[in-house]
Amino acid sequence: MAVKIEARGLYKVYPRDKGEAVPALAGLDLQVYENEFLAIVGPSGCGKSTLLYLMAGFLDATAGELLLDGRPIRGPQRDCGIVFQHFALFPWKTVKGNILYGLEERKVPRAERERLARHYIAQMKLTGFENSYPHQLSGGMKQRVAIARTLALDPAVLLMDEPFGALDAQTRRLMQEELLALWERKKKTVVFVTHDVREAVYLADRVAVMTARPGRIKAIVDTRLSAAARRHELLESEELVAKANAVWALVREEVEKSAALGE
């Protein structure tokens, strides 16, 4: 498969006004393939979100290379859409207004904007809520709006930073299923950051495990599941549990290292 995103010897150091700088990433190497679903897991503070924001072009690397389609990432990328944990919706805009925002910024013709808004409102099961404001929506519905807003721009890469972390367990499971169905239809490149190992294994083709800070890639685990394992009602098929346990064993080693360092 073609490489969509590549990190080569990536470093990110956060300077401090007083005291030593904080190294977030140190010599990280990673390849993300076109149209794959890659999840990233690791201990808290290991640099997962930093890596995602570097991919989005929101941050600049301290050293190393980060490439999109073989070209260095310099600033925000039109081909990359990002979905955050806390929705980041405009509270003064309706569901439809939030979805239209990016299309208006890109000066998409009005008729096409309206068509895309209708399409993604229907696809994300928001029909009937077009004129509702974020404070009138449940957490799951807010996240559907955030995903619809991003997908309406048709990015080649979808970056997701713990998008379901703030949802209750039932809504989270439904959103996982919807995201997986959406990815199977659209086949975009997805990079998905999560603390939930079982979520990572359920969703992703591969799971990248990061080390304790400063972050590097410790291991990459192939987590493709059979259709039967994905259909299992409780996400407790032997196949899924075995792969989740293998990933957790790798993560646990790094969590224990972080704890020993007092991080």
pLDDT of residue 95: 96
At 1 the pLDDT is: 80
The pLDDT of residue 174 is 85
pLDDT per residue of the chain (263 residues) written in tens, 0 to 9: 899 999 999 999 998 877 788 899 999 999 999 999 999 999 998 999 999 999 999 999 999 999 999 999 999 988 899 998 887 899 999 999 999 999 999 999 999 999 999 999 998 889 999 999 999 999 889 989 999 999 999 999 999 999 888 888 888 888 888 888 888 888 899 999 999 999 999 999 999 999 999 999 999 999 998 776 776 555 678 888 999 999 999 999 999 987 776 65
How many Cα atoms sit within 13 Å of 180 on the Cβ side? 19
> Which residues share a beta bridge with 193?
40, 161
1-79+162-168+189-263 classified as CATH 3.30.572.10: no
Distance, in Å, from the CA atom of 56 to the CA atom of 76, rounded to the nearest integer, reads 6
State pLDDT tens for residues 202-228: 999 999 999 999 999 999 999 998 776
Neighbours of 102 (CB within 10 A): 17
Question: What H or E segment, with its residue span, contains residue 103?
Answer: helix 95-105
For residue 168 the two structure tokens come to 């209750």
pLDDT of residue 233: 57
pLDDT at 92: 96
Span 129-175, pLDDT tens digits: 999 999 999 988 998 999 999 999 999 999 999 988 888 888 888 88
pTM: 0.92
Residue 45 identity (one-letter amino acid): G
**Other Cβ atoms within 10 Å of 161 Cβ, number:** 20
Share of the chain above pLDDT 90, in %: 70
DSSP secondary structure letters along the chain: --EEEEEEEEEEEE--SSS--EEEEEEEEEEEETT-EEEEE-STTSSHHHHHHHHHTSS--SEEEEEETTEE--S--TTEEEE-TT----TTS-HHHHHHHHHHHTT--HHHHHHHHHHHHHHTT-TT-TT--GGGS-HHHHHHHHHHHHHTT--SEEEEESTTTTS-HHHHHHHHHHHHHHHHHH--EEEEE-S-HHHHHHH-SEEEEEPSSSB-EEEEEE----HHHHH-TTS--HHHHHHHHHHHHHHHHHHHHHHHTT-
In the chain, CATH 3.40.50.300 sits at 1-79+162-168+189-263
